[in-house]
Chains A and B, each alone.
Chain A
Amino acid sequence: MAGVVLTITSGKGGVGKTTTSANLGTALAMAGQRVVMVDADLGLRNLDIVMGLESRIVYTIVDVIEGRCPLHQALIRDKRVDELYLLPASQTRDKDAVTPEQMMAVCQELQQIADYVLIDSPAGIEAGFRNAVAPATEVLIITTPEVSALRDADKVIFLLERDVGIEPRLIINRYNPRLVRRGDMLNSKDILDILSIDLLGIVPDDDNIVISTNKGRPIALEREVYISRAYHNIAQRILGYTVPLLRFQEISWLERFRRTIGL
């Protein structure tokens, strides 16, 4: 049975597409699925850095499309998890190097061998985005609770509904429960009010996630860290299980005191 091609896109840049792709791919692979992550951000590739695999890249997706190497040779296997592969993007070429048809051809090959193909889309609504969305069977929209991100996400949902016909699902990233409690940040209900699509999960704003991306070790690998549970829950929801949303606790007064004095 062919696998699912899941494109992760957002419209606005910097909301966490690459981080989410890396962690979600890892979480799905840890749940037993065979996952291939495809970096569709040609020219500004980031997924390999976040996954910590950049030193092992020899061939990229452009090499596959132009016929210089077979597909299986370009895939990089992540040794930390069973059955997790990465198809890197090219750093020297740019988005015009591939067309949607070529992207679809590659992803169809991947669909035959993998359970999930995660495509990390670049920001924007132009050629890179079109390339990333062309092969998709499902789409995830990432947004932060900010006005500008919501506006762009709304536009992207409109484009998807009009041209592609897929109903996307939403992941709210960098959610700050303390600000929401103060009324300074939109809460999830307001966001869903505007966007009116199904919510797949909420990932809070946590230092551990930022640190882990810099180290090249996705936080989903560390199960004992509380925050990685957010990504594992999302993976379970993708697989079809119903998982309740995490409860976000406000930081305690002691922690707040410690942060104030700088310890």
Chain B
Amino acid sequence: MSESTQPITRPRDPASRQRADSPAKPSIVRIVGIGDGIVMRIGDQEGRWGDIVRVLAGHLVKAEGFFQGERVAIEIGSRLLSADDMQQIADVLTGYNIAIWAVRTSNPETRRMAQEIGLSVEGADGNSGDGSSGDGSSGDGSSGSGGPGRIKDERARWEVHLGQRGQVAPSVKPQSEFQPPQSIADSIADRAIDPNSQATELGTLPPSQKKAVAPSPLAVFRTDADEDADADADEEDTDDQSSAEVILAPPYIYRGTLRSGQVFRHAGTIMLIGDVNPGAEVISGGDIFVWGRLRGIVHAGAMGNERSVVCAIDFEPIQLRIAGYIAMSPKAVTNEPGRWFWRRNAVEKPEVARVMGKQIVVDVWDSQWK
């Protein structure tokens, strides 16, 4: 979470005050999205099943609308479960109108139990088990768009993070939703098309993918954050070097005020409902929208996207960075006695910052903005 400040340890103590929301380890149940649907990964370390189901129910309560009508696959690892346990979690999920698509486990007992209840199972090695009849969402293997019972072993493309108050979201690595550009580049090479021409033979290809990425000659200020972000991007998307389009993670909405010392990093656009206090940092691969007062340090387009914007209702950042450009608030430059950073804005209107030409421009929002 916070990089430099050590946490305050409260030694566990039976006589200490009970807090209302005792923190359940958020890593017990991880909800990730893969190509075909949603997988709930339940760690197979310690933890009673009842507690896990409760944590899961808590997560579902918080994210009620998100999962409605979805199908999920449950990955249990090597945990041994009884039929009652299976039924318990199935009940919880059907209570939220979520269908269980498959159960993935490497424990043969658990597998048998799941099959008895009527859930389609899949072993850890990817073999599809027999889906018996019943109220499982999938029948035999021949139907359906998603390939019932088969969870492709893919990296998670996104992860739902239902953290607690004050927690910082983990940074989600951006993944490509489309075909990797390398294969497109190969097909271009096959047809021996000049990559610099804007020929529309491959009509579906966005033209930007044909251009090589060139460091902008106008990137005057390369801050440390940019270098780090670029290093990260290079490591992950090794097949993405030729793309000038930055692939972002899905947007993240954070409710609450960011206090001084908090850093909020996300590889997609961030929507903040609350204030950003001076001393807080918001670093995003995409845009940043602050529905409140923006008084901290913001960095939009941290992975190089110069088309990112920063919007806020009360726009007074200490420092504003978009991709490689940096700008300071004009209030910070004046030396008038009696001018404070947190004076009410004379212009009490939402403002938008973006890169135009070679610099960052801040405009008052109006409906003519495009």
Mark each residue of chain B from 333 to 350: 1 if its CB lies under 8 Å from any CB of chain A, else 0: 000011011100000000
Interface assignment of B277: CB less than 8 Å from any CB of chain A: yes
Stretch of A149-157, A235-243, A255-263 with 4 or more beta carbons under 8 angstroms from chain B: A149-157
A152-B6 Cα distance, complex, nearest whole Å = 16
**Residues of A173-215 whose CB lies within 8 A of B:** 182-184, 186, 190, 193-194, 196
Interface assignment of B191: CB less than 8 Å from any CB of chain A: no
A-chain residues with CB within 8 Å of residue B2 when the two chains form the complex: 162
Partner among B1, B9, B260 whose Cβ is within 8 Å of the Cβ of A134: B9
On whether the beta carbons of B9 and A130 are closer than 8 Å, the reply is yes
Partner among B5, B15, B278 whose Cβ is within 8 Å of the Cβ of A108: B15
Mark each residue of chain A from 52 to 94: 1 if its CB lies under 8 Å from any CB of chain B, else 0: 0000000000000000000000000000000000000000000
**Residues of A151-177 whose CB lies within 8 A of B:** 151-152, 154-155, 157-165
Nearest A-chain residue to B256, judged by Cβ:
A161
On whether the beta carbons of B5 and A125 are closer than 8 Å, the reply is yes
On whether the beta carbons of B7 and A163 are closer than 8 Å, the reply is yes
Closest approach, in angstroms, between the C-beta of A85 and any C-beta of chain B?
Answer: 21
B-chain residues with CB within 8 Å of residue A183 when the two chains form the complex: 338
B-chain residues with CB within 8 Å of residue A162 when the two chains form the complex: 1-2, 7, 166-167
A186-B1 Cα distance, complex, nearest whole Å = 32
A137-B13 Cα distance, complex, nearest whole Å = 13
A-chain residues with CB within 8 Å of residue B11 when the two chains form the complex: 100-101, 104, 134
* Given A134-B10, A154-B260: A161 in contact with B279 (beta carbons within 8 A): no
Interface assignment of A133: CB less than 8 Å from any CB of chain B: yes
A-chain residues with CB within 8 Å of residue B19 when the two chains form the complex: 165
- Tally inter-chain residue pairs, CB-CB below 8 A: 78
B-chain residues with CB within 8 Å of residue A194 when the two chains form the complex: 277-278, 342
A162-B2 Cα distance, complex, nearest whole Å = 10
Interface assignment of A113: CB less than 8 Å from any CB of chain B: no
Mark each residue of chain B from 320 to 361: 1 if its CB lies under 8 Å from any CB of chain A, else 0: 000000000000000001101110000000000000000000
**Residues of B1-38 whose CB lies within 8 A of A:** 1-2, 5-11, 13, 15-17, 19
* Given A137-B17, A162-B167, A194-B277: A151 in contact with B260 (beta carbons within 8 A): yes
Nearest B-chain residue to A165, judged by Cβ:
B19
Interface assignment of A246: CB less than 8 Å from any CB of chain B: no
Interface assignment of A147: CB less than 8 Å from any CB of chain B: yes
A-chain residues with CB within 8 Å of residue B277 when the two chains form the complex: 154, 194
Mark each residue of chain B from 29 to 52: 1 if its CB lies under 8 Å from any CB of chain A, else 0: 000000000000000000000000
> Which of A2, A133, A154 has most B Cβ within 10 Å?
A154
A161-B275 Cα distance, complex, nearest whole Å = 16
Nearest B-chain residue to A160, judged by Cβ:
B8
Closest approach, in angstroms, between the C-beta of B341 and any C-beta of chain A?
Answer: 7
Interface assignment of B165: CB less than 8 Å from any CB of chain A: yes
A104-B12 Cα distance, complex, nearest whole Å = 10
Nearest A-chain residue to B278, judged by Cβ:
A151
**Residues of B204-229 whose CB lies within 8 A of A:** none
Interface assignment of B261: CB less than 8 Å from any CB of chain A: yes
Interface assignment of B161: CB less than 8 Å from any CB of chain A: no
A133-B19 Cα distance, complex, nearest whole Å = 16
On whether the beta carbons of A164 and B338 are closer than 8 Å, the reply is no
A-chain residues with CB within 8 Å of residue B279 when the two chains form the complex: 151, 154-155
* Given A130-B9, A137-B17: A158 in contact with B340 (beta carbons within 8 A): no
B residues near A (Cβ < 8 Å) are 1-2, 5-11, 13, 15-17, 19, 165-167, 257, 259-262, 275, 277-279, 337-338, 340-342
23 cross-chain CB contacts under 8 A: A100-B8, A101-B11, A104-B11, A104-B16, A108-B15, A130-B6, A130-B8, A151-B278, A152-B260, A154-B279, A155-B279, A158-B166, A158-B262, A160-B8, A161-B259, A162-B7, A163-B9, A165-B19, A182-B338, A186-B340, A194-B277, A196-B257, A196-B275
**Beyond A108-B15, A193-B342, 12 additional pairs, beta carbon < 8 A:** A101-B11, A134-B8, A147-B341, A154-B260, A154-B278, A155-B259, A155-B279, A159-B5, A163-B7, A184-B338, A186-B342, A196-B257
A residues near B (Cβ < 8 Å) are 2, 100-101, 104, 108, 125-126, 129-130, 133-134, 137, 147, 151-152, 154-155, 157-165, 182-184, 186, 190, 193-194, 196
A-B pairs with lowest CB-CB distance, top 4 = A158-B259, A154-B260, A155-B261, A163-B8
